[in-house]
């Protein structure tokens, strides 16, 4: 653990860093950080340098003697991985071509994961999802099977009528996911009479499977919200 004031500074810099990311994208419309006003570039460099410095400090504050023990403690918890994830894209940026800089900039959003260290709620959610992992796996397999089945059937029924929307099993799976979550954008929907009939009878059942999945994952979140009351 670092000093409370330093931890506070880390939290503030994470939020500052993500806010600056959105401001840089939406306000300057720059393609990547080198194309934006220099303020954003230097702000980012200072933040990344600070997070690197923070990692070094954390490493030295570990109460272990050997390098291997320190390594195991650091990467034995998600926090260690999140710290690396927060600065790796920045340092990789120096070795990447200019086209990749835009992706590098967006990866800054993963810095939000650093807040995980400070949030008892986030810890509780991960624990709740972990407890429900067997349920999630079982219903997750059901969802996958249903989506796979629905995709292949609808692919066969619709591909002749609308090759641009149901032209491959992957396209058909996209229809299936959009339908099963009841989002229903309308970019893809069955048009043949048989496709509509089959879809109409499939829907209530696949919705039920997906509903069970969302119920289980959402239940884990709700359990966490219930606890502090």
Q: Which of residues 6-25 bind a second copy (CB under 8 A)?
A: 18, 21-22, 25
Q: Does 164 sit near a second copy (CB under 8 A)?
A: no
Task: Return the number of the residue (41 or 207) whose C-beta is nearest a second copy.
Answer: 207
Q: Which of 71, 161, 177, 192 binds a second copy (CB under 8 A)?
A: 177
DSSP per residue, the chain: ---HHHHHHHHHHHHHHHHHHHHIIIII--SSTTTS-HHHHHHHHHHHHHHHHHHHHHHHHSS-SSHHHHHHHHHTSHHHHHHHHHHHHHHHGGGS-GGGHHHHHHGGGGGGGGGGGG-HHHHHHHHHHHHTHHHHHHHHHHHHHHHHHHHHHHHHHHTTT-TTTSSSHHHHHHHHHHHHTT---SSS---SHHHHHHHHHHHHHHHHHHHHHHHHHHHHHHHHHHTT-
Asked if 99 is part of the footprint of a second copy (rule: CB under 8 A), the reply reads no
Q: Examine residue 228 and tell whether it contacts a second copy (CB under 8 A).
A: yes
> Site residues for a second copy, window 128-157 (CB under 8 A)?
134-135, 138-139, 141-143, 145, 148-149, 152-153, 155-156
Name residues contacting a second copy, limited to 23-42 (CB under 8 A): 25-26, 29
Decide: is 212 part of the binding site for a second copy (CB under 8 A). Answer: yes
Stretch that binds a second copy, among 4-12, 50-58, 67-75, 184-192 (CB under 8 A): 184-192
Least distance from a second copy to the Cβ atom of residue 56, Å:
27
Q: Which of 4, 181, 192, 194 binds a second copy (CB under 8 A)?
A: 181
C-alpha to C-alpha distances, 163 to 18, 172, 197, nearest whole angstrom? 41, 10, 19
Q: Is 76 in the site for a second copy (CB under 8 A)?
A: no
Of the candidates 85, 100, 165, 207, which one interacts with a second copy according to CB under 8 A?
207
Smallest distance from a second copy to CB 8, Å: 18
Interatomic CA distance for residues 68 and 32, integer angstroms: 38
Instruction: Count residues binding a second copy (CB under 8 A).
Output: 72
71 vs 177, beta carbon nearer a second copy: 177
| Structural tokens at position 201 | 């009878």
């Amino acid at each position: 653990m670092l000093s409370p004031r330093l931890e506070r500074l880390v939290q503030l810099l994470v939020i500052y860093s993500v806010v600056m990311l959105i401001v840089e994208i939406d306000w300057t419309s720059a393609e990547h950080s080198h194309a934006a006003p220099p303020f954003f570039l230097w702000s980012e460099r200072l933040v990344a340098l600070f997070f690197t410095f923070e990692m070094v400090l954390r490493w030295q504050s570990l109460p272990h003697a050997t390098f291997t023990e320190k390594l195991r403690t650091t990467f034995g918890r998600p926090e260690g991985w999140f710290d690396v994830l927060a600065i790796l894209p920045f340092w990789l940026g120096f070795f990447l071509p200019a086209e990749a800089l835009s992706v590098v900039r967006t990866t800054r959003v993963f810095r939000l994961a650093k807040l995980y260290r400070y949030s008892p709620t986030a810890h509780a959610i991960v624990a709740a999802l972990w407890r429900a992992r067997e349920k999630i796996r079982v219903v997750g397999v059901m969802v996958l099977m249903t989506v796979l089945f629905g995709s292949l059937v609808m692919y066969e029924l619709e591909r002749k009528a609308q090759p641009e929307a149901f032209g491959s099993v992957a396209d058909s799976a996209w229809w299936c996911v959009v339908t099963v979550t009841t989002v229903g954008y309308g970019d893809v929907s069955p048009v043949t009479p048989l496709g509509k009939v089959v879809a109409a009878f499939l829907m209530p059942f696949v919705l039920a499977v997906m509903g069970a999945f969302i119920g289980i994952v959402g239940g884990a979140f709700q359990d966490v919200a219930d606890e502090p009351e």
